[in-house]
Structure 1
Amino acid sequence: MRVFSHTCSNTEIVAALGAADLLIGRDDDSDFPPDVAARVPAYGRDLDLRVDEVIGLRPDLVLTSLTVPGHERIVDAIKAAGIATLVCDPLGLDDIFSDIRRIAAALGIAPRGEQLVAEMQAAMPRVEATTRPKVLIEWWPKPVITPTRQAWATDLIERAGGCNPWAGIDGKSAPLTDEHIMASPPDVIAMSWCGVKVANYRADVVSRRPGWAEVPAVRDGRIVAISEEFLGRPGPRVVEGYRQLRAAIDAARA
């Protein structure tokens, strides 16, 4: 089977399933695992995919997603060429598990999908706690954008023993005003800025905001950097996002 992967998470799922040898192409942003990125040719960033070239590869299956606004155009063009597509659009953590199973089944290795899901679930035990520190994940610092109700990051927070005070807001994410944040001041702030390398996350960008000095997370030095690779990609590495969130939440509870 000849498989093209459009989006990082799908590439990482295929690799985690042990099926990277099926990949004939990827998008430019698929950078993990490094050996797969080095071996498999890239055909443009997610919204600038060179669709004609992808079609020319004559893949048996294109793995794509609707996780980024604008992907619809890419998906429609590939479907119009008569190429089989599998489209992921996960909201919660269970949807990620479902997508892994669907991809494994499409590749003819369904048992590997079940095994990978079981391993991920075992690595992310649900923390039962009476005290749940409030966690703000920042997808972007200005304005502050955070995951809301339909977000796997919210599920990760709750699974790791925390709570997302903005989980009642409908949608995948929302911008927050200072008033929103001060109404439920977070005990932990996790910087996970989209499109920014974790080495460039700066806690002082958060701590120097006017009026934030008494926010518990700022006052107590609980501003952590968790790469978007671990919280923003709906694939196997959300396990690492969970681990880092849990460490920060456990520290806030101590």
Structure 2
Amino acid sequence: MRIFSHTCSNTEIVCALGCASMLVGVDADSDYPPEMVAALPKTGRDLDLDIDAVLALTPDLVLTSLTVPGHEQVVGALRAAGLRVLVCDPRSLADVYANILEIADALGVPERGHALVAQMEAAMPAVDAVGPRPKVLVEWWPKPVIAPARQSWVTDIIRRAGGSNPWAQVDAKSLPMEHATAQEAAPDVVVMSWCGVKEANYRSEVVRQREGWDSVPAVAHGRIHAISEAYLGRPGPRLVEGYRRLRGCIAAAGGV
């Protein structure tokens, strides 16, 4: 089977299922595992996908998603071009698992899908917090602050790791807000996971220098951490690494 993957998370799922040899091309942001994807044809970034270039690769199946705003137009264009498309739109960790199983079924390796989900589940045990859970602000973007809300697998992972998302009850995938609004939540931990920015370029002073934030517990106690968006923003196997890093941050803040 010839597979084209339009999103990083789906690329990583295919490789984790042991099916990297099926990939005939990927989007320009798919960078992991490097030894498996570096030499593959890349046909543009998420919203700038070259449909004709994808067609030229003659894939039997295109794996895509709705995780990026605007992806629905790309999905429509892929379908209009006559391509067979499998679309993932995970809102929760359970959805991520379901997508893995769906992809594994489509690739003809259902048993590997179940094994991968079982491995991820075992690696992300739910922490049974005794006292108050530290409040965790995960920032997808710093200005305005954009945080995950109820319809996000990150909210589930924060909970599993022993923390709480102050915006867990907001019925949205993510929530843009003014700095003052985020400040009012008084997060105990701030995690920079800025989309499209390399982790090496995250700067804690961007958070610390916000007006009035010196009284925010996360700032006052030096609990500003960097976790690459690759570990939290890609709904695939590397969420396990995001969980591990979040667990360390939350434990350092007093979480069980």
TM-score (normalizing by structure 2) = 0.97
Aligned to 1:142: 143
Q: Which runs of 4+ in 1 moved over 6 A?
A: none
- 1:187-212 CA-partner distances (Å, limit 9, x unpaired): 10000001100000000110111111
1:37 & 1:57 partners in 2: Cα distance? 15
Q: Which moved more, 1:109-118 or 1:58-67?
A: 58-67
The AA in structure 2 aligned to 1:148 is A
Aligned to 2:121: 121
In the TM superposition, what is the alpha-carbon distance from 1:73 to its structure 2 partner? 1.8
Aligned to 2:73: 73
Aligned to 2:134: 133
Aligned to 2:4: 4
Aligned to 2:160: 159
In the TM superposition, what is the alpha-carbon distance from 1:180 to its structure 2 partner? 2.5
2:220 & 2:57 partners in 1: Cα distance? 55
2:46 & 2:176 partners in 1: Cα distance? 24
TM-score (normalizing by structure 1) = 0.97
The AA in structure 2 aligned to 1:246 is R
1:108 & 1:216 partners in 2: Cα distance? 49
1:71 & 1:163 partners in 2: Cα distance? 29
Q: Which moved more, 1:74-83 or 1:86-95?
A: 74-83
Residue 18 of structure 1 aligns to a residue whose secondary structure is coil
Unpaired runs of 5+ in structure 1? none
The AA in structure 2 aligned to 1:75 is V
The AA in structure 2 aligned to 1:52 is D
The AA in structure 1 aligned to 2:76 is D
Unpaired runs of 5+ in structure 2? none
In the TM superposition, what is the alpha-carbon distance from 1:176 to its structure 2 partner? 2.2
Aligned to 2:23: 23
Residue 18 of structure 2 aligns to a residue whose secondary structure is coil
In the TM superposition, what is the alpha-carbon distance from 1:72 to its structure 2 partner? 1.4
2:99 & 2:90 partners in 1: Cα distance? 7
In the TM superposition, what is the alpha-carbon distance from 1:123 to its structure 2 partner? 0.3
1:182-197 correspondence runs (5 A): 182-197=183-198
Aligned to 1:38: 38
1:232 aligns with 2:254: no
Aligned length: 254
Identical counterparts, % of pairs: 63
The AA in structure 2 aligned to 1:107 is L
